[in-house]
Amino acid sequence: MKIINKIYSLLAAVMILVMASCSPDEFGLGDKNLSSEDLAENIAFTITHDESNPNIVKFKSLLPSSYSVVFDTPQGRFQQDEVSLKIPFNGTYQARIGVETRGGFLWGPYAEFKVDDFCAEFVTDPLWTYLSGGVGKSKRWKLDIDANVITKHSDLWAGPLGFWGMDDDWSTCMMGQTAAAGDHWNWTPGIADNSWVMSAMDYGYMEFDLIGGAHVTVYNAETGETLKGTYMLDTDNHTITFSDAELLHNSGHDQVATNWRSGLKLMGLADDRLQIATVRDNSDEGKCLLCYNFVSEEYWDNWTPSAPENTQVKPTLMTDWRDWVEQKTNKEITYKLANPDNEEGRQFDYCNLDGSAKGIQLTAASGIEDATLVMNSESKSYIYTAPNGSQVSGKYTLNDEGVFTFDKGFGNTQLSATGNYNMHANADNTLRILKVSKDDYTGHLKDLWLGSQCLDDQGNLYQYQAYHWVAQSASSASGPKYKANLFFNNSGWGWKHDGDIANYMSTNVFITGDGDYSLKFEGAESNPYLLYIDVNKILKDNPNCDITIKSIKVDGKSVDFDDTLIPRGYTDDDPSTNSFRRYVLNPWGPAACFKFDSGKNEFTDFKCSSSIEVVITVKMDTGAPVVTPSEGK
C-alpha cells in the first residue's frame, strides 16, 4: 500500500510539472480578466506590411482562438483573426483590436501605422472612378429627393431611402442575385405616399475626390453643417469608411443608427448611381439596413421628366362584365361597402395595375359599411351616400375599358381608422373597374371593385386604391347562408385548390337551414390522409348548431362509421372563427372507427378511384351549444 501511495504522489507531481510547462505567457490572457492595456499592439495583435507591396497592411491577433476578436481599421471593422487591407494612399492611420470578455466587449488602444507611398494600382478598380471621377478629379452626389417630392432615378428606386434585410449586400442589391438563405428582403417606399420616411427637400451633397488623397466633403443642407475628411473604399468587400465626416442622411434617423461612418455597406455604385447602407441598430422595430440612394450631380442637373408610357398593364375583367354592371332588366343596382362580419372580405385595399389585391392590412374606420352607391343604367345616374349621410349625386359614363366618369365626383370619405386612406375619385372624377364577380350561390352580381390612381412623384401610375362594393340583391337579403366545403389531401400534400389553398377544396355548398347537404371529393387517391368539413361562421348566428355525419361513400360504396367518435370543433381550434369543423380523417388523432396505417400514413378504407362523398345533417338549434371552447381545443 505504501508503494502504491508513493506512485500516486509521483504521478501527481509529474502532472503538475506538465501542466506548468503547457502554459506559456502568450496564453496567460485567457486565464484572467483583460484590461485595455492587454489589447495593445504587439501584445494582443501585430501590424505588418507586405514585403512585396508595403501598401498591403496585415493585422493578426495574438490572442487564443477562444477569443472572438474584432479589428477596427481604416476600412471598417472585421470580425476575424487576420485581416489584410489594400491602402492606396500614403498617410498615418490607426487601428485597434476589440474582444468579448467576461465583463463585456472591450476595445484596446489605437495603434498608429504609416503608409509611405501612393499605390496607383489600388485605385484602378472602376468603382473608384465611379465614386470620385478618377485620379485628380472630384464628383458630387445628391440624395435622390427634392423639395418637389421628386425622385429622379425612379427607374431604379421609388425613393431616397430603402429598408433591406441584414444579410443583403452588393450581390443582392447591385447584382440582383437571389440569396439561398438569410435575412433578405427590401422595401423602398415613395415619399409622396410615405412622408413619414423623411421630409421632401434638397439635402445637400457628398463630394468625393482623388486629388492628392481620398477626400470627402459632406454638406448637409438640413443642418447647415459641412464636414471635411477622408474616405476609404474597399472594392473587394464593398464597404466604405469615412474619417472626420459621415454619410449624408436625414436627421429623422439620427437616433435609430449608431454608426454613420465606419464599414458602411456599398450596396450599389455606377456612373450615376450610389447606394450606401448603415445598420438600424437602435430601434424598437428591430435591426435592418437603411440604404440611402444617391444620384450624381450631373444626372440631377440634366434630369427631365420622362413622358408617361402609352402602354399600361390593365385589369382583365370577366367575360360580359359590362352586361353585369349595366344590366338590361335590373337597371338600378344598389351597392354597399363590403362588410367583413358578413364574410364579404376586405372593404378596401391597394391593388396592382392588373387589379390583383396586395392584401395590405389596414384597420377600417367605424361604420364605413353604411356607405351606399346606387347606379341606374337607364338614366345613367348615380347617388353616393357617405356613412355620415351626406350625398353626392349626378350622371355617369362608362367606357369600354371599364372606366367610370362621375360628373359630380365621389366625395372624400375616410375609410381607415388612422385617417391615411380616403375614398375618392381621381382628379378627373374617374374610377376604374378592377374586378367584377358573381355570387357562387345565387349567380347574381356580387362584387364590384373600383380603383382610384396612385401616382408617383413623376406622375406615373404604379398602383390603385381599391374600394370593394357589394351588390345588394333581393336574394342576398332573404336570409343568412353559410359556405360549407370538404377539404382533402394525401400525406405528400399533393392536392391544391387553384394553386393557393393547401388542400383540395370541394365545390361550395351553402347552408341555409335545417336539412341534409352533400359534399364531395372528386378524383382518384391511393394515399388518403386528411379529410375534414368546415362550415364558415355558422356558430356566430347559431351557437347551438350541430352538424352530424349522415353517410360516407367511397366510389359509391358506404363506409361504416360512428358519428360520436368523429371530433366536433372549431376551425383551426379557434373559437373566434365561429366556424364548425368535423375532422372525418384526422391523422393526428384518428377516429377509432377508421383504420389508419401509420406506416403508410393513410386511411385504408378511403382509397378511391373516383370520389368520396359525405352527407351531413344540419340542425340550427339543438337547445344547447354542441361545441364549446374547451372541446374545440
User: Which segment of 51-65, 180-194, 375-389, 605-619 scores lowest on mean pLDDT?
Assistant: 180-194
Between CA 228 and CA 207 the distance in angstroms is 9
Q: Check whether 29 has a pLDDT greater than 50.
A: no
- Confidence category of residue 1, pLDDT binned at 50, 70, 90: very low
What does each C-alpha distance from 165 to 182, 190, 419 come to in angstroms? 8, 18, 30
Order of strands, sheet of 611-619, starting from the edge strand that comes earlier in the sequence: 515-522, 611-619, 546-554, 557-558
Could you tell me if 533 and 485 are in contact, meaning their C-beta atoms sit under 8 angstroms apart? Answer: yes
Between CA 249 and CA 251 the distance in angstroms is 7
- Confidence category of residue 3, pLDDT binned at 50, 70, 90: very low
- Confidence category of residue 26, pLDDT binned at 50, 70, 90: very low
Between CA 26 and CA 60 the distance in angstroms is 14
Q: What is the average pLDDT across 461-484?
A: 79
The pLDDT tens digits for 337-348 are 988 877 778 899
Highest mean pLDDT of the ranges 19-33, 141-155, 171-185:
141-155
The pLDDT tens digits for 357-381 are 888 778 889 889 999 999 999 899 9
Could you tell me if 42 and 95 are in contact, meaning their C-beta atoms sit under 8 angstroms apart? Answer: no
Between CA 361 and CA 488 the distance in angstroms is 29
Q: Which long-range contacts (CB under 8 A, 24 or more apart) does 15-20 make?
A: none
Q: What is the average pLDDT across 377-389?
A: 92
Between CA 540 and CA 557 the distance in angstroms is 35
Sequence ranges of the chain with CATH classification 2.60.40.10? 29-118
The pLDDT tens digits for 113-158 are 999 998 888 888 999 999 999 989 999 999 999 998 999 998 899 9
Give residues with Cβ within 8 angstroms of 87, minimum separation 6: 55, 56, 57, 74, 75, 93, 115, 119, 122, 232
Could you tell me if 381 and 396 are in contact, meaning their C-beta atoms sit under 8 angstroms apart? Answer: yes
Class of domain 125-302: mainly beta
Between CA 346 and CA 357 the distance in angstroms is 10
CATH, range 29-118: 2.60.40.10
- Confidence category of residue 9, pLDDT binned at 50, 70, 90: very low
Would you put residue 444 in left (φ > 0), alpha (ψ -120 to 50) or beta?
beta
The pLDDT tens digits for 194-210 are 888 999 999 999 999 99
Could you tell me if 119 and 100 are in contact, meaning their C-beta atoms sit under 8 angstroms apart? Answer: no
Q: What is the average pLDDT across 533-547?
A: 92
Task: Give 262's DSSP letter.
Answer: S
Between CA 313 and CA 406 the distance in angstroms is 23
The pLDDT tens digits for 392-430 are 999 999 999 999 999 998 888 999 887 778 999 998 899
Sequence ranges of the chain with CATH classification 2.40.128? 125-302
Could you tell me if 467 and 411 are in contact, meaning their C-beta atoms sit under 8 angstroms apart? Answer: no
Give residues with Cβ within 8 angstroms of 526, minimum separation 6: 602, 607
Mean pLDDT, the chain, rounded, equals 87
Q: Check whether 27 has a pLDDT greater than 70.
A: no
- Confidence category of residue 12, pLDDT binned at 50, 70, 90: very low
Q: What is the average pLDDT across 432-446?
A: 83
Between CA 343 and CA 470 the distance in angstroms is 11
Which pLDDT value is given to residue 501?
58
Supply the DSSP string of 532-552, one letter for each residue: EEEETTHHHH-TT-EEEEEEE
Between CA 497 and CA 545 the distance in angstroms is 28
The pLDDT tens digits for 559-604 are 999 999 999 999 888 888 889 999 999 988 889 999 988 888 889 8
What does each C-alpha distance from 525 to 148, 534, 556, 606 come to in angstroms? 62, 21, 15, 8
Which pLDDT value is given to residue 462?
86
Q: Check whether 277 has a pLDDT greater than 90.
A: yes
